[in-house]
Amino acid sequence: METQRYLPGIHGPEDLKKLPDAALPALAAEIREEMIGTVSKNGGHLASNLGVVELTIALLRVFDSPRDKIVWDVGHQCYAFKMLTGRAERFDTLRKPGGLSGFTRRYESEHDIFSGGHSSVALSAAYGIAAANKLSGSKNYTVAVVGDGAFTGGMVYEALNNAGRAGKGTRLIVILNDNEMSISENVGSLARYLAMIKANPRYFRLKARTEQALNRIPLVGRPTAQALYQAKTKLKNRIYNSTMFEDLGFRYMGPLDGHDIGHLCEALRGAVEADYPILLHVNTRKGKGYSFAEQHPDTFHGISAFDLVSGETLYAGASFSDRFGAYIAEAGERDARICCITAAMALGTGLEGFNRRFPDRFFDVGIAEQHATTFAAGLARGGMLPVFAVYSTFLQRAYDQIIHDCAMQGLKVVFAVDRAGFVGADGESHQGVFDTAFLNSVPDITVYSPATFAELDACFTEALYHTEGSAAVRYPRGLEPVLPAGYEPAGTAWSRFGPENAAVSVVTYGKCFAEAAEACETLKEKGVTAQLIKLTRVKPIPREAVLSAAKSAFVFFFEEGQRFGGIGETFADKLLKYRFRGRYVLTAVQGEFSVQDSIPALYHTYRLDSAGIVETVLAEIRTDPEKNAE
């Protein structure tokens, strides 16, 4: 007998609401099956999504999305939400070109209230929406779903402090999805019983009627209501320690079983009855329903395609992150001053080896890039050599601290900027195409962009021991590129390949160098001899590299980053200072957010692959027959 399937019949929250309660566990199992199968092929964030299936069902059963606004922090746990809000039929396109995003995206669905990608922002956004509702007289609710990991980010506490003062009439509900750390201690059977009572809608209705009745009594009513509230709070404080949120102005409910749909629905309906900001504390299990993800939630947090049976990823080979991890562990063996810092990304940035060998010099500060940067500055002021390993997209969050606490003070902080350049399927919120432009504007910081593993080692040695002040070493996601014979860059400033007197100079940096080297070989076959200049230190740009390029009639700069404020514009400015009178062509990201696609496809889109470089050069030199490019 074939098992009944419910997911194909759900085209929106209204269909979910029609299902009987008895069907919901089977629906949850279907969602998990679809989720695991798709992520095994497309890659994505699995463990966190598996943990919130029941919570998502309960939210869409109780609230009226999109009139009630559900805001997911980060947005990387929204897969079940996508399936239940009309996108189940397209779920197999997840993270593919033109397909569903792996995060919430406003352009994708009216149910995606706020585009996600970075942590700890949902509560601020949700409070803003709730405040707007209150001002406009709307009776709709706003729900922020925030993981416990995001509670290591300072914005959450800024928002809690602000939203908790909003008081009566603010229809804001915060779901604390607690899947790893225990914010409030296990309180035993009595506390669980009290949590169940507080989750009952009748509790809130009775509480509201009692407060209203007491407040109507002249003179003694309001003081009596306040006295009862204070007495209740004191009793609760003796039973369980969960009052931080109530001290900030929220009504606290929980902790609750995040995998009991019935209990969750009842708790959410209870929260609706309260006319104050509510914090609902929900315990969930990361990776629930897939044993490998349950056992290794960090590995399956964000994962590439994998084998369903073994749980093993399908790619092989050492990445730049692996090479950095090996280098810094060996450097830490030689130099006891080296300390490593991560913002909850030890596995992703390759720091697990350093952590195992030097736990006293390893600091995971949580999702707190601003704190990590200033903490690193403090370590430097104390005589250490701090290395902050961080994805390019997340370094954006620490721009002020880079300027004010590191560069301005001349402190030696080394930024290991991982995932620099295109990252692929994570899309516009994660593409590392801004770091060169914003670091380029910071005085007294040195920036390196290696293209090979050997260059990476050399750049970190230079950054640690041979530069003044702060330095950043930015490197791409993935494996070391394959270079044509004779194109091994050397040194940490710049390298030149081909004749210095060539009429054409091709200039680039980072991973794009491999494409440019292949392009120069193709140009040679087509009768065009080009000088290839590879910048390894992109800030400050080596003077000799500019002088060499200035001798050419045509200079082509190819940049895997933002054009405006980037390295290519700075190179052009320096060329003019040396009285360059030829043609300068800059190919880069033209002030836009790069969408999700494979990295090779993004290179092709922006004409940064070898074919695009060849076409750009040939098209330009053929428009000027008076100049000889051979």
34 in helix, strand or coil?
helix
- Annotation marks residue 192 as catalytic: no
Contact between 520 and 610 under an 8 Å Cβ cutoff? The reply is: no
DSSP type of residue 405: I
Length of the chain measured in residues: 630
DSSP 576-630: HHTT--SEEEEEEE-SSPPPS--HHHHHHHTT-SHHHHHHHHHHHHTT-TTS---
22 in helix, strand or coil?
helix
Query: Which of 32, 82, 198, 397 is labelled catalytic?
Result: 397
CA dist., res. 27 & res. 40, Å (int): 20
Six-digit token string for 476: 């791409």
Query: Which of 34, 54, 369, 480 is labelled catalytic?
Result: 369
Query: Which of 171, 286, 511, 534 is labelled catalytic?
Result: 286
Write down the H helix ranges in 240-351.
244-247, 261-273, 291-295, 320-334
- Annotation marks residue 357 as catalytic: no
356 in helix, strand or coil?
helix
Q: At what angle do helices 567-577 and 543-550 cross, to 10 degrees?
A: 70
Q: Give 69's strand partners.
A: 142
- Annotation marks residue 397 as catalytic: yes
Q: Give 446's strand partners.
A: 471
Place of tokens 């914090």: 279
**Which residues in 375-491 belong to E strands, given as ranges?**
385-391, 414-418, 445-448, 470-474
CA dist., res. 80 & res. 57, Å (int): 8
For 369-432, what is the HEC assignment?
HHHHHHHHHHHHHCCCEEEEEEEHHHHHHHHHHHHHHHHCCCCCCEEEEECCECCCCCCCCCCE
H/E element holding 233? helix 221-239
Give me the sheet containing 362-364, strands edge to edge. Answer: 362-364, 338-342, 385-391, 414-418, 470-474, 445-448, 537-539
- Cβ contacts of residue 527 below 8 Å, gap of 6+? 630
Name the residues annotated as catalytic: 286, 369, 397
